[in-house]
Structure 1
Amino acid sequence: MTLAVAPQATPVSSLESLVRRLKEGAHAWVKVPLAERLALLEELRRGYHAIAEPSVRAACQAKGIDPESPIAGEEWLAGPFIVLRNLRLLVESLKDIQRHGVPYIPPSRLSTLPDGRLCARLYPANLLDSTLLMRHVGEVHFQPGVTAANLREHQASFYRRPHEGRLCAVLGAGNVNSIPPTDCLYKLFVEGTACVLKMNPVNAYLGPFLEQAFAPLVRRNVFAVVYGGAEEGSALVNHPDVDEVHITGSDKTHDALMWGPPGPEAEARRARNEPLLKKAITSELGNVSPVVIVPGPYSDGEVRYQGSNIAGMVANNASFNCNSAKLLVQPREWQRRGQMVDEVQTALGRTRVRSAWYPGAEQRWRQFTEGRKGLRLVGTPGKGELAFALVPDVDPFQSQDRVFTQEPWCTVLSETSLPGADDPVAFLEQVVPFLNDKVWGTLCATLVVHPKSLKDPAVKAAVEKAIRELRYGSVAVNNWPAAMFALGSLPWGGHPSSSPQNIQSGMGWVHNTYMLEHIEKAVLRAPLTGFPPSPWMPGHRGLATLSRRLADFELAPSWLKVPAIAAAAMRV
């Protein structure tokens, strides 16, 4: 088995020459022609596919997963599949730039929202693409001022107006192994910046695999990997030759870099808007991710399906995802409210408890569960493991309760309710200000809506209004926003209402292979139920095989591969 061994910390003294070399490479990088960039991307695709299996085995070892078990498929999906798909879509976008000047969006995919803003339908791009998430539709809502006539002016600005060569310090995420490489690919191929990636100590074992897969970029002095903790990270981001910073992590890390250690001095700097770090900074910083059940005529089977869907949003990756379901919001008097919680609990019982491999998880789990009335625990944890915890009926008027203000970052799902039973319109009118003003984070939210309810024009209008008004960078209807993260073509990031002083889930976008700018949010619409069920649903027996086949598909898409993928998807 490949060992999940982290390299030693990079000596701070060696950063000087490394950063200088990358800054020189950045000046050359901006002049590389499109044909050469395309050849590089094809080389990177082959390189990443070559390290897929050993990197997954290393991740399984680090997270306490049997690499031959179905759950190992989570690491294939959240690692190689997403990276290979991202690389493939970047190839398609650069080919579009060769032909059209920008990544091409057919005029038939553009529409105008009721508030006058532009909407672009991006997923599926074609019939073969639609086999990944059948009957799903993904779209982007733009900020005011972007129109069908000027959309090209808000795409791929680096390829239309190149800068002189910039270097970005990327502080990598420790939880999901596709995040560090895709963050760097975005900076390199969408924004045109060279990257020095500091691995998070939690998954520093991934670094050597990235160095191998991205060797063509290393040789060009536009990509390098360094290792270490806070000292090395601080030295890197404050280096004078580093032009900008990208962080995937916590808001606490962002604020410490911007304003200094917590305390009166940091708060005074924040109030004066005098940051310590005077560089452009983008970030993705987590979320108390809500799932809202809009009342409707649900059958027992539909409640069961969505209960399993929500359970999968909790269990996946031991709940160490920024988009893991953390807050279930339901109508207070809805007759199926208790049944939904029961179905989530039952579905969680179909998967094993997980190793609490992310540092501090056990302490956070206790903070969210101790003293809670009606607490439900699922599973029998062994040493180093945590049970799934359901915290029902949290008072929504206790706005300082940590379930609304802090991301648990462990296997905890809380449930709360707002007044209402059978009136979706009145319920949604309460949901939007509650989530926008009381629940921390701006990254992603899910609305579960019955299709029969949408046949009522008033309900449909209320749902669309809620989608537009929710201050989240991603809004999913009837599905997990992680699907939006995985697609790659849709932008991923916090809502643009965030500011450095109130950073919430961060600022800026990644993925976004259409290279769009002035984005307001992404939206993914899905059926209420489906077959085969989503791969993250607990107990999926074919997950490992399915995930491997999807990764192979992204290297070389073909209709001939679809039957084998479908067969694995149906092994539930």
Structure 2
Amino acid sequence: METQSGESAAAVVDAALSDLEAGEKKWAALPLTRRRDLLDQVRKLTSRHAEEWVDAASGYKGLDPDAPLRGEEWISGPYVMAASLHALSRTLDKLASGKSPLEDAEFGAAGERVTVRALPSNLFDALLLNGFSAEVWLQRGVSPAAARTNAGLAQLTPEKTNGIGVVLGAGNITSIAPLDALYELFAHNRVVALKLNPVTDALLPVFTKILAPLIDFGVLRLLSGGAEVGGYLVNHDKVAHVHMTGSAVTHDAIVWGVGDEASERKRDGNPKLAKPITSELGGVSPTIVFPGQWERSDIEFQAEHIATQRLHNNGYNCVAAQAIIVSPDWPQKDEFLTALRDAIDTAPARPAYYPGSDQRTEQAQESYPEAQRLGPYQGRLLVTGIAPEKAEPLLSTEYFSPVLGVVEIPGTGSDFAQAAARTANEEFIGTLGVNIVAHPATIEALGEDFDQLIEDLRYGTIAINAWTGVGFLTPTASWGAFPGHTLDDVQSGIGVVHNAWLIDRVERTVVRGPFRPSPRSLINREWAISPKPPWFVGNKTAATTGKLLTGFAADPRWTRLPQIFASALRG
């Protein structure tokens, strides 16, 4: 186990953990105002090195330097990082002045649960994401008063640190690793050893520059290497806690081992990993499409919307939609599926950069020989007309590649709602995110039955006429699996991240968006001025808009808005 320089990787890890032991003592003595200052320094460096970040990510993902698809790298990389740093800085500012991060929050109710409005959280949100909203649902029994009192988590007692946490970074969305490290440091008050996924090693020099204030202070160390390094690191005696983003297979290998050893350990309830672990894992995310009377433009827009849910980052997202639920009783079903096929087929070309992608696509093709090959390289797979009894491989295997299946469940109205919720809860592997697409008139007609559907769905993020990725991009929302998973049945993971207000006892986040983009939304009295969102795979100005949004997130100013609006409207 050696580094590229020939130095022992074990020695590098040992030295990093020794540094963090010393850094923990400094961190315990650091007041909240100085912690906030460190976050503000990191935000400035995120802005300064944002283009370098996007160039590095686009390079190993094989994106053309002039491609609009680079907008994905701007928005899911430095943009959300800068926005999260700003929100977390404001949380520390309030705590330092003796106030709750939720002092000015808008509370509501959903059934028996208290909700907190996470989006819009300010006037800028209301303008830039007009028509979108997000609520964090608290667990049953949590009152607004308790939520206010407990918001801040470990930063309520900053002098009480909790040892060294290891973060095993994701290999797909580039902001995940640094955001997870920030959550360990601030939500749990643990100093952090962050090991990057080998897929993202090209970002190590960039992250070293951006995270320099935390590295220099001694509370963060960046490490690289493969499974051997990761195994040595997570099992190290000096490590108190592990957090990982990845697959359930990797999680179980860390916790239980592999092969017969894993089976025996699971049977005996004897984990191989002798310390706590939290996780954000994948799964098979559904999109439920409700029957309704749609205009042709609605069909085309929502087809591109769902194609985006699958093809963003070429499908290498833990929350990428993999199975669409539709009703064969919907008169417009065939017209919608034709538009969906066209949207997938004509979406911009990109390489299959993530290891094993092509093999997983072939695995899906073997399970569904009738699947259609689509796209510029015929590398995208669409399977339609799947009856529930033939859906098992699609619903139990996270393909992590551009594979999309359409499962048909009969019914309309509340009957369809109940059947779709039951299928999503009981047949799909994972609970990270579920999307719902429904005409406003359908939602109105369902009334309380629609509200009950949202309550019944056991997912960490639910998106209504939006993609759950909007929840990922909202710093004040929570992100993670639905609560209740265990080490021996981990599904989409244990715990949450992001959550910049540091809210205690979160259950889920519910995101809502406009069924139609502006100006048709206004014509149809939906009162949303959002054009085609910049994260759509077919947005022509996504790269420009993403860059402008990143600049705004790093330094919010009114003078930046006109350029953003002009670019977004051309998308």
Q: TM-score, normalised by structure 2?
A: 0.94
Contact 1:155/1:516 (8 A) holds in 2: yes
Q: Which residue of 2 aligns with 1:14?
A: 12
Pair 1:521–1:9, CA change in 2 (3 A): farther
Contact 1:353/1:387 (8 A) holds in 2: no
Q: Which residue of 2 aligns with 1:72?
A: 70
- Pairwise CA distance, 1:143: 1.0
- 1:216-252 Cα deviation digits (max 9, x unpaired): 1111111011111111000000011110001001111
- Pairwise CA distance, 1:181: 0.7
- Pairwise CA distance, 1:485: 0.1
Q: Which residue of 2 aligns with 1:426?
A: 415
RMSD: 1.7
Q: Which residue of 2 aligns with 1:160?
A: 156
- 1:115-136 Cα deviation digits (max 9, x unpaired): x221111210122112232111
2:517, 2:73 → 1: CA distance?
23
- Give % identity: 33
- Pairwise CA distance, 1:255: 0.5
Q: Which structure 2 residues correspond to residues 260-275 of structure 1 after superposition, within 5 A?
A: 260-263=257-260, 265-275=261-271
1:372, 1:290 → 2: CA distance?
18
- Pairwise CA distance, 1:380: 3.0
Contact 1:168/1:246 (8 A) holds in 2: yes
Q: Give the secondary-structure state (helix, strand or coil) at the position aligned to 2:69.
A: helix
Q: Give the secondary-structure state (helix, strand or coil) at the position aligned to 1:111.
A: strand
Contact 1:171/1:233 (8 A) holds in 2: yes
Q: Does 1:527 align with 2:518?
A: no
Match of 2:440 among 451, 454, 462: 451
Q: Which residue of 1 aligns with 2:292?
A: 296
Pair 1:466–1:8, CA change in 2 (3 A): farther
- Pairwise CA distance, 1:408: 0.9
2:49, 2:460 → 1: CA distance?
32
Pair 1:22–1:335, CA change in 2 (3 A): same
1:534, 1:7 → 2: CA distance?
45
- 1:116-171 Cα deviation digits (max 9, x unpaired): 22111121012211223211121011112211222134321212234334211110
1:481, 1:8 → 2: CA distance?
43
Q: Does 1:380 align with 2:380?
A: no
Q: Does 1:126 align with 2:125?
A: no
Pair 1:76–1:275, CA change in 2 (3 A): same
**Letter of the aligned partner of 1:121 in structure 2?**
R
Report how many residues are paired: 555
Q: Which structure 2 residues correspond to residues 461-540 of structure 1 after superposition, within 5 A?
A: 461-531=448-518, 532-540=531-539
Q: Larger deviation: 234-243 or 537-546?
A: 537-546
Q: Does 1:439 align with 2:428?
A: yes
- Pairwise CA distance, 1:301: 1.5
- Pairwise CA distance, 1:280: 1.5
Q: Which residue of 1 aligns with 2:521?
A: none
Q: Which residue of 1 aligns with 2:562?
A: 563
Q: Which residue of 1 aligns with 2:218?
A: 221
Contact 1:296/1:449 (8 A) holds in 2: yes
Q: Which structure 2 residues correspond to residues 191-202 of structure 1 after superposition, within 5 A?
A: 191-202=188-199
2:145, 2:38 → 1: CA distance?
33
Match of 1:245 among 242, 262, 273: 242
- Pairwise CA distance, 1:362: 0.7
Q: Which residue of 2 aligns with 1:256?
A: 253
- Pairwise CA distance, 1:373: 4.9
Contact 1:136/1:526 (8 A) holds in 2: yes
- Pairwise CA distance, 1:468: 1.3
2:470, 2:6 → 1: CA distance?
35
Q: Which residue of 2 aligns with 1:173?
A: 170
Q: Which residue of 1 aligns with 2:97?
A: 99
1:169, 1:8 → 2: CA distance?
24
Q: Which residue of 2 aligns with 1:3?
A: none
Match of 2:389 among 392, 397, 402: 397
**Letter of the aligned partner of 1:253 in structure 2?**
T
- Pairwise CA distance, 1:488: 1.2
Q: Larger deviation: 148-157 or 499-508?
A: 148-157
Contact 1:245/1:280 (8 A) holds in 2: yes
Q: Which structure 2 residues correspond to residues 278-289 of structure 1 after superposition, within 5 A?
A: 278-289=274-285
Match of 1:368 among 361, 364, 372: 364
**Letter of the aligned partner of 1:308 in structure 2?**
E
Contact 1:379/1:387 (8 A) holds in 2: yes
Q: TM-score, normalised by structure 1?
A: 0.94
Q: Give the secondary-structure state (helix, strand or coil) at the position aligned to 1:553.
A: helix
1:271, 1:155 → 2: CA distance?
38
- Pairwise CA distance, 1:8: 8.6
Contact 2:87/2:475 (8 A) holds in 1: yes
- 1:288-331 Cα deviation digits (max 9, x unpaired): 11110112222221111111101111221111111111110011
Contact 1:378/1:389 (8 A) holds in 2: yes
- Pairwise CA distance, 1:371: 5.9
2:438, 2:150 → 1: CA distance?
33
1:489, 1:7 → 2: CA distance?
41
Contact 1:170/1:197 (8 A) holds in 2: yes
Match of 1:36 among 29, 34, 37: 34
Gaps of 5+ in 2: 519-530
Q: Which residue of 1 aligns with 2:551?
A: 552
2:210, 2:403 → 1: CA distance?
36
Contact 1:295/1:331 (8 A) holds in 2: yes
